[in-house]
Amino acid sequence: MKKRGQIFFILFALGLSSCATAQQTNQGAAAQTDPIAERMLVYQLSNGAWPKQLEDKSVVKYEIPIDEALMAKIKATTYMHATIDNRATSREINALVKAYKTTHNKAYLQAAEKGLDYLLKAQYKNGGWPQYYPDQSSYRAEITYNDDAIVNVLNIMQDIVTHSNDFDVVDQTYVAKAENAVKRGLDCILKTQIVQNGKASIWAAQYDQNSLKPAKARAFEPASLSTSESINIVRFLMRIKNPTAEVKTAISDAINWFNTAKITGYKFDKFPDGKDRGLIADPSSVIWARFYDLQTNQPIFGDRDNAVYKNIADISFERRNGYAWYGTWGNNLINKEYPKWLKANGG
């Protein structure tokens, strides 16, 4: 009898041990977190989006631990700060999807999907997205390619459709919604490609949300052809599988414009004395101006006084040295990416 009691006690103890181990395993699985993702949850606004700046104008930086003072600033930041500018909202959705794939923490996926709901709601009927939503003040309501705002969103939607970049984890009901968003976004891109004398060129950075005409944004960002943004618009178009003839033409026309507008033999850099910036002779350099006149294709430069200049030397020192007026944006696209795309698409 004593021996049977000992055996029962041993089995009972083993059972407790197994239960404890299983409980610890479940707790461990539930507790898997990512520190950056956790902070993103805190910053998420009530409408599902994220701000690029807090109420006090401080820039959102997820590497900074959240203390009591920072938490107060976050809580004071309302849904009116929701934006896709400076990668806000798209950055967080991408990061949270990847964090979910690693940790299986459902809170991350739920937050990402709430962000997707915001993006889908913010899209205009004509297919574009505003820089901010629902804030419609100033140029925030304009259709905004500037700083790749719309392209960042469209890449997310395309990832959902193609189950790419970990977006296979989102609820499958988003696939049809994303497909529709891509279709409308593509239509907007094709409609806003600027035509000069019957020939399509590239895109402006912003457009009036109603007329689809190129529009200005900040005082030093005039309505103009915008090279940096157009490069990534072309890259998005080249992501489309089985592109239509219209898409192929839009791509080739943009590439032709970049080849025509390139500036050879100069680079934009600091002068030898290090005090100012401007064009410096460099036989190996190929660059483009950031902005070109909508009719003449000549480089133009804006300043804080809302004036537009043809020579970068004529704008203020502060703006001349505080903005990317020239860049090598088109080189990889023209020399590597486009030939590869052309070969794959029957060029």
Give the model confidence (pLDDT) of 217-239 as tens digits: 999 999 999 999 999 999 999 99
Q: Please indicate, yes or no, if residue 18 is contained in any of the structural domains.
A: no
In this prediction, residue 1 has a pLDDT band, given cuts at 50, 70 and 90, of very low
117, 111 contact by CB (below 8 A): no
Which residues are paired to 59 by β-bridges? 53
Share the mean pLDDT of the chain.
92
Is the pLDDT at 22 greater than 60? The verdict is no
**Pair (333, 345) in one structural domain:** yes
Structure tokens at 319: 């703006």
320 vs 303: CA distance, rounded Å: 9
**Pair (206, 341) in one structural domain:** yes
**Pair (161, 171) in one structural domain:** yes
What pLDDT score does 14 carry? 38
**Pair (136, 202) in one structural domain:** no
What pLDDT score does 25 carry? 38
Share of the chain above pLDDT 70, in %: 91
Residues 6+ positions from 138 with CB-CB distance below 8 Å: none
Q: Is the dihedral of CA 323, 130, 97, 69 positive or negative?
A: positive
Is the pLDDT at 215 greater than 50? The verdict is yes
**Pair (168, 212) in one structural domain:** no
What pLDDT score does 30 carry? 54
Q: Please indicate, yes or no, if residue 329 is contained in any of the structural domains.
A: yes
Is the pLDDT at 98 greater than 60? The verdict is yes
What pLDDT score does 107 carry? 97
pTM of the full predicted structure? 0.89
Q: Is 200 helix (H, G, I), strand (E, B) or coil?
A: strand
In this prediction, residue 11 has a pLDDT band, given cuts at 50, 70 and 90, of very low
- pLDDT tens-digit map of 299-326: 999 999 999 999 999 999 999 999 999 9
| CATH number of the domain bearing residue 66 | 1.50.10.20
Share of the chain above pLDDT 90, in %: 90
What pLDDT score does 9 carry? 38
**Pair (84, 163) in one structural domain:** yes
**Pair (139, 236) in one structural domain:** no
**Which amino acid does the sequence have at 332?**
N
In this prediction, residue 208 has a pLDDT band, given cuts at 50, 70 and 90, of very high
Catalytic (active site) residue 232 = no
Q: Please indicate, yes or no, if residue 19 is contained in any of the structural domains.
A: no
Q: End of a domain among 141, 157, 192?
A: 192
- pLDDT tens-digit map of 165-178: 999 999 999 999 99
Q: Please indicate, yes or no, if residue 98 is contained in any of the structural domains.
A: yes
Q: Please indicate, yes or no, if residue 27 is contained in any of the structural domains.
A: no
What pLDDT score does 56 carry? 96
9, 82 contact by CB (below 8 A): no
Is the pLDDT at 129 greater than 60? The verdict is yes
Domains in the chain: how many in total?
2
Higher pLDDT, 85 or 30: 85
What pLDDT score does 259 carry? 97
Distances (CA, A) of 68 to 40, 74, 75: 16, 10, 11
Exposed / middle / buried, residue 337 (Cβ in 10 Å: 0-12, 13-18, 19+):
middle
The catalytic residue among 87, 91, 140, 218 is 218
What pLDDT score does 134 carry? 98
Q: Please indicate, yes or no, if residue 3 is contained in any of the structural domains.
A: no
Q: Is 277 helix (H, G, I), strand (E, B) or coil?
A: strand
Q: End of a domain among 145, 170, 192?
A: 192
Place of tokens 């036989």: 283
Is the pLDDT at 13 greater than 90? The verdict is no
134, 87 contact by CB (below 8 A): no
Is the pLDDT at 61 greater than 60? The verdict is yes
What pLDDT score does 102 carry? 95
**Pair (125, 234) in one structural domain:** no
The catalytic residue among 86, 146, 152, 232 is 86
What pLDDT score does 347 carry? 65
Catalytic (active site) residue 320 = no
**In 46-88, where do the E strands start and end?**
none
Q: Please indicate, yes or no, if residue 7 is contained in any of the structural domains.
A: no
Q: End of a domain among 169, 192, 215?
A: 192
Expressed as residue numbers, the domain containing 83 is: 32-192
In this prediction, residue 346 has a pLDDT band, given cuts at 50, 70 and 90, of confident
